[in-house]
Amino acid sequence: MNAMFRISGAGRLSQAKTASFTFDDKSYIGIEGDTLASALLANGVHLVGRSFKYHRPRGVLSAGAEEPNALVQIVRDDARKTPNVRATVQELYDGLTAHSQNRWPSLAFDVGAVNDVASPLFSAGFYYKTFMWPKSAWKNLYEPKIRAAAGLGVSPDQPDPDHYASRYAHCEVLVLGGGAAGIAAALAAAETGVRVILADEQAEFGGSLRFESGARIDDQDGYAWAQGAIAKLKAMDNVRVLSRTTAFGYYAQNFVGLVERVSDHLKNPGHDLARERLWQVRAGRVVIATGAIERHMVFANNDRPGVMLASAARTYLNHFGVAVGRNVGVYTANDSAYAAAIDLKKAGVNIAAIVDLRDNPAGPAIDEARALGIEINFGRAVVSAGGKLRVSSMTVQPKNGGGGRTIPVDAILMSAGWTPSVHLFSQSRGKVAFNDETKRFVPGTYAQDCVSVGACNGTDGLDATVDEAYAAGAKAAKEAGGKAGKGAKPKVDAGESWSRGMLGAAPGAGPGTTVKAFVDFQNDVTAKDIRQAVHEGMRSIEHVKRFTTNGMATDQGKTSNMHGLAIAADELGKPIPQVGLTTFRAPYTPVTFGSIVGHARGALFDPTRRTATHGWAASQGAVFEDVGHWKRAWYFPRAGEDMHAAVNRECVTVRKVGGLFDASTLGKIEVVGPDAAKFMELLYTNPWEKLETGRCRYGIMLREDGFIYDDGVVGRLAPDRFHVTTTTGGAPRVMNHMEDYLQTEFPHLNVWLTSITEQWAVIAVQGPKSRDIIAPLVEGIDMSDEAMPHMSVREGKICGVPTRLFRMSFTGERGFEVNVPADYGEAVWEALWAEGQKHGATAYGTETMHVLRAEKGYIIVGQDTDGTVTPNDAGLDWAVGKKKTDFVGIRGLTRPDLVAKGRKQLVGLKTKDPKVVLEEGAQIVTDPKQPIPMKMIGHVTSSYWSENCGRSIALALVAGGRDRMGETLYVPMPNGTIEVEITGMVFVDEKGERLNG
Amino acid sequence: MAKAAKTKAAEASVERRPALAGRTLSAPGVKVEMLAPAERISLRAPQASLAALSKALDVTLPAQPKSSAAKDGRTALWLGPDEWLIIDEAGNDPLADCAKVTALHSAVGISHRNVGISVAGPAAAVTVNSGCPQDLSLEAFPVGAASRTILGKSEIVLLRTAEDSFRVECWRSFSDYVFTLLSEAASDAAN
């Protein structure tokens, strides 16, 4: 069963293979190979959408990616509702469901169309003017209303169930565009043996050969030649042919982004297939063969459904076998529309009239049209299209004025000429040049190793295009290392050639008129709007663009930019190049978020790092917290415990008995070489030369400006070997900081740095029973206080596994950190846990670790310091080697403001009410009764409930803090002011006796 | 000249639990699987020490960027002008071998820091290329080529072990991310 406008014998699709689909819930039949647009037109459906601002009825303008009007919503299921799909690009599949957009309650009757009548309110720049007063109305009325009314499609409201693939690829020659030019270039390059990638956005290759009935290459129809050439290219090992693939972005050093639509055209894609695949291609040479885009004529009501580009009508006829009307008018300013009229006439469609703006054009196309008996009107203009939901007539006048007549039509084909597609060339940072004779911008100065060929280069005629492209393909391949090719250049037997045309408003839509002659269909910008922008003071095309939004829709002005520019130039009385061309930016056509995101979602959004004991902790019911990329055990709740109860129990148990803590995430760097100690002297404030082998020291690292950068315990394993630890978050940047200084400032030192963070699992065993827990498992290490005092390190074995056993404490209790090779971490933990159970020890997490260290006044870099804290501010002057003459930050420490009085210093805080726990980050003032804004003299950096102290404790940075001991200060909070007393930073065991307890 | 006797790696008495042990994924054209534990060191040394170290390790340390050398289950991967990754899959201990060398160098054991993942099959290169921007053609990245590079958001060391086979080395805690990314990539690679 043929649809009404399908012409038997025309087109290339097999009419036997039908596909049913629905549009706005009405069923239609198309055939395989159709686009949604061709299938709708075959069924006589021209009205497919409503415009953005005025809600005017809109039809299909084009047959390709430049389509501004025919945007629809494709619905596969509840989660797959893709808005703003160009019906001219969407391939038909059986069961396809599409809906029109931007209309309510229905496409034919749309309440929003009142905007069309009220259009004086919505003229150019209306956003900036109409809604300015009263001020409050913007937020409460105008913005919500505009937001509700704006936008075209409806965003999906569920997570995207599809998946997206990505791939990097390299080739010597990348050819963008698979028309005659692209294919010829790819053939020439491929024959040299180099790697070639050829990409085209269409389902099938051929470009303009899809509609150019007059093209013949190598004794075949042009389109058939293209298919043969593609088959040949596909069979070559060195060639990758990508259809349905849009080159959307051209970046530095010939890095080109392409998106391949893998399954949007399939009825049942299945989950194995990605929806899209992102290709990131690095090419030796790029051949740009992106063709040209036909421009519409700018006249009143040129947006009525049924008014379309001549080349589009020709594509629908010659490729899809669809007539876009039965009684068709043609309005043109160049030859190419004649070919459309001729093809349609030959297919049996009545051509009501050709209206040609030119006075006395001549040529074979005109002769042929005349010979077919088509009425031709020279020197005349279509000044208006009649009809509303579908064009019904065209009003024709002499172009210089005079009486007109109205001709009934059901479609108008128009052509104002062709605009070279310089988008990708421009994205490559190449500079376009204006050809005054042909009135078009063509590639001028190149910035990268690429070449434009064919229509996008302003080359007219099939013969010249194939010549140029074949030579360019061969040259690009040769420059990229290819051998001489043996193939033969395709022979063009016949081709079509058009150029010229006109830019700007046609007669009847020029200065002084207020008709709706659309320049930009998608953003509803008319010729009048462009002129108004100039009248209101816009001089640069960049300003005109932003004021009118011309070219700012999702089609990026593919059909409108040149018209808009010409109208502005005309109004300004300047030549076009002086007004300038707006910059082309990626993406060439809209790209889905999915294809950009690729695999990076869910578990692959970012690496999740787990320690060796993660499985054990999870099995014990640990609650984890994110620390950078790491998952760290936060606390280990037992049955019935909330976080507070669990942390209280863990804190008390560690000080009473002991606890196990996974410290594996701390950064670890092995510093090795004869100059290791010298290097450490330069990177840390502390002295290292005299640190004995087997001993440890707490080290502080500064930035050049004298502020604390990182800290950690460092053990000396040998005269030439240090085991350095860093904060968890600081691990990568400390490594980079050290490597940076080693390579740039101290390259004379014989020392090397190796990250060993992940080599060693680290189990902290802390508490009075810590030695009793570890000792039974250790071989070859004397753990007595005499042989292994606080701050020492020994190498030996635990559970038969090599260990670096540190005696150190971040709790203030006797403590050890057991380092074992990571794969053994969990087994050794389990052995230590079994020993710990005998004593009643607990496993504890990061929250308890934080509380216990705060009870001892041990700082956490990044929590109690913020990049503006010196060792002195933090009360760590003792860690700065007084006799040292050099280390990173030594000069920074002497800066006047770093030694000035009144700097913020780290102190302890006790709330007057011991039950009140301060909020971290809360501000501190001296007088809570002072007027707002109060003078803030500091803030709380750490604050916890301490079950061991039976009260809250806090650390704070307070101006002149150490001189304020015992002073009462205030923390104003929304629910009242909290009284606090300044104290020392140590809340438990001030003398440090428990380290050996 | 007598060959230096390689030192056997020590054996442990508690269970070793390598990350993702035994994990495999098969897709059309490619198989991704965790490799067995191996002995590894990060070796840093100036030019003057290379002869002595090569002798002690019984493998000639490569001097060319993006290259490796292998002998009897021990592979030396060039990572930088003074940096090599030594992987021993034969149960011998390169750290102990280097300990005998007096020439200037730094050898640090990283057997447990890294894990190895095998990506093998006709679609192996495409699989790796899903997250690695390098040119993996045989011309640019021949058998034996080695490079410290990236896979998605993780650093990896990539070694081509055969025309259709790669060894991907990453840090232990990144292995889940790297394996999962390779698995997803593998399922698309043959398409």
Q: Do A168 and B130 touch (CB under 8 A)?
A: yes
Of B126, B88, B177, B52, the residue nearest A605 (C-alpha)? B177
Asked: is A297-415 a CATH 3.90.280.10 domain? The reply is: no
d(CA B178, CA B87): 19
For A885-924, where are the E strands, in sequence order?
A: 904-911, 923-924
Q: Do B188 and A277 touch (CB under 8 A)?
A: yes
Q: How many Cβ contacts (< 8 angstroms) between chains A and B?
A: 142
Question: Domain for residue B2, yes or no?
Answer: no
**DSSP assignment, residue A375?**
-
Per-residue tokens: B161: 């072990």
Instruction: Compute how many other C-beta atoms are within 10 angstroms of the C-beta atom of residue A364.
Output: 11
CB-based contact B120:B127 (threshold 8 Å): no
Q: Do A170 and B135 touch (CB under 8 A)?
A: yes
Per-residue tokens: A993: 């006796």
Question: Domain for residue B16, yes or no?
Answer: no
Q: Do B112 and A673 touch (CB under 8 A)?
A: no
Q: Do A282 and B133 touch (CB under 8 A)?
A: yes
Q: Do B10 and A802 touch (CB under 8 A)?
A: yes
List the single best residue of B173, B175, B183 to mutate versus A (max A Cβ within 10 A).
Answer: B173
Asked: is A899-996 a CATH 2.40.50.100 domain? The reply is: no
Q: Chain A residue closest to B186 (CA)?
A: A165
List the single best residue of B132, B180, B184 to mutate versus A (max A Cβ within 10 A).
Answer: B184
Nearest-neighbour CA in chain A from B112: distance (Å)? 5
Model confidence at B12: pLDDT above 70: no
Q: Which of A167, A599, A673 sits opposite B106 (nearest CB)?
A: A673
Residue A722: strand pairing partners: A671, A716
Which ranges of chain A have pLDDT less than 50?
1
Chain B residues closer than 8 Å to A752 by CB: 44, 82, 106
Q: Chain A residue closest to B133 (CA)?
A: A168
d(CA A323, CA A314): 9
ipTM field: 0.95
Nearest-neighbour CA in chain B from A801: distance (Å)? 5
Chain A residues closer than 8 Å to B174 by CB: 607, 609
Chain A residues closer than 8 Å to B131 by CB: 166, 168, 599
Q: Do A756 and B110 touch (CB under 8 A)?
A: yes
Chain B residues closer than 8 Å to A166 by CB: 130-131
Sheet holding A327-332, edge to edge: A307-309, A411-415, A327-332, A350-356, A376-378
Cβ neighbors of A866 (< 8 A, separation 6 or more) are none
Chain B residues closer than 8 Å to A608 by CB: 176-177
Q: Give the residue numbers spanning the domain of B145.
A: 26-189
d(CA A35, CA A544): 35
Question: Domain for residue B154, yes or no?
Answer: yes
Q: Do A611 and B173 touch (CB under 8 A)?
A: yes
Q: Do A282 and B44 touch (CB under 8 A)?
A: no
Q: Which of A167, A608, A823 sits opposite B130 (nearest CB)?
A: A167
Chain B residues closer than 8 Å to A674 by CB: 104
Chain B residues closer than 8 Å to A776 by CB: none
**Helix (H/G/I), strand (E/B), else coil: A819:** strand
pLDDT of amino acid A763: 98
Q: Do A599 and B130 touch (CB under 8 A)?
A: yes
Instruction: Compute how many other C-beta atoms are within 10 angstroms of the C-beta atom of residue A206.
Output: 26
Q: Establish whether domains A164-292+421-494 and A297-415 are of one fold.
A: yes
Q: How far from A636 is each of A622, A625, A848, CA to CA, in Å? A: 4, 12, 10
Chain A residues closer than 8 Å to B173 by CB: 607, 609-611, 629-630, 758
Q: Which of B46, B109, B153 sits opposite A759 (nearest CB)?
A: B109
**Helix (H/G/I), strand (E/B), else coil: A387:** strand
pLDDT of amino acid A15: 82
Q: Do A827 and B15 touch (CB under 8 A)?
A: yes
| Secondary structure, 3-state, B7-53 | CECCCCCCCCCCCCCCCEEEECCEEEEECCCCEEEEEECCHHHHHHH
Chain A residues closer than 8 Å to B126 by CB: 167
Chain A residues closer than 8 Å to B153 by CB: 600, 606-607
Q: What are the residue boundaries of the structural domains of chain A, listed by start?
A: 18-115, 122-149, 164-292+421-494, 297-415, 503-573, 662-853, 899-996
Model confidence at B52: pLDDT above 60: yes
Q: Chain B residue closest to A824 (CA)?
A: B16
Q: Do B180 and A751 touch (CB under 8 A)?
A: no
Nearest-neighbour CA in chain B from A424: distance (Å)? 22
List the single best residue of A758, A819, A820 to mutate versus B (max B Cβ within 10 A).
Answer: A758
Asked: is A164-292+421-494 a CATH 1.10.287.130 domain? The reply is: no
Q: Do A758 and B134 touch (CB under 8 A)?
A: no
Q: Do A754 and B106 touch (CB under 8 A)?
A: yes
pLDDT of amino acid A1: 46
List the single best residue of A163, A168, A174, A245 to mutate versus B (max B Cβ within 10 A).
Answer: A168
Nearest-neighbour CA in chain B from A282: distance (Å)? 9
Nearest-neighbour CA in chain B from A171: distance (Å)? 9
Q: Which of A272, A756, A800 sits opposite B13 (nearest CB)?
A: A800
**Top CATH class, A662-853:** alpha beta
Nearest-neighbour CA in chain B from A665: distance (Å)? 10
What's the CATH code of the domain at B58?
A: 3.30.1360.120
Asked: is A503-573 a CATH 1.10.10 domain? The reply is: yes
Mean pLDDT over all residues of chain B?
Answer: 94
Fold of the domain spanning A18-115: Ubiquitin-like (UB roll) (3.10.20)
Chain B residues closer than 8 Å to A670 by CB: 106, 108
Q: Which of B16, B112, B181 sits opposite A599 (nearest CB)?
A: B181
Cα B118-B120-B124 angle, rounded to 5 deg: 110
Q: Where are the alpha helices (DSSP H) in A348-400?
A: 364-371
Chain A residues closer than 8 Å to B191 by CB: 165, 262, 273-274, 277
Q: Do A821 and B112 touch (CB under 8 A)?
A: yes
Q: How far from A28 is each of A10, A42, A96, B136, CA to CA, in Å? A: 20, 10, 10, 48
Chain B residues closer than 8 Å to A755 by CB: 113
Question: Domain for residue B183, yes or no?
Answer: yes
Q: Chain B residue closest to A820 (CA)?
A: B112
Q: Do B137 and A828 touch (CB under 8 A)?
A: no
Question: Domain for residue B101, yes or no?
Answer: yes
pTM: 0.94
**The residue type at A249:** G
Q: Chain A residue closest to B187 (CA)?
A: A272
Q: What is the dihedral of CA A589, A595, A597, A601, to 10 degrees?
A: 150
Of A61, A71, A150, the residue nearest A112 (C-alpha)? A150
Model confidence at B3: pLDDT above 50: no
Q: Do B131 and A166 touch (CB under 8 A)?
A: yes
Model confidence at B4: pLDDT above 70: no
Chain A residues closer than 8 Å to B13 by CB: 799-801
Chain B residues closer than 8 Å to A827 by CB: 14-17
> How many domains are there within chain B?
1
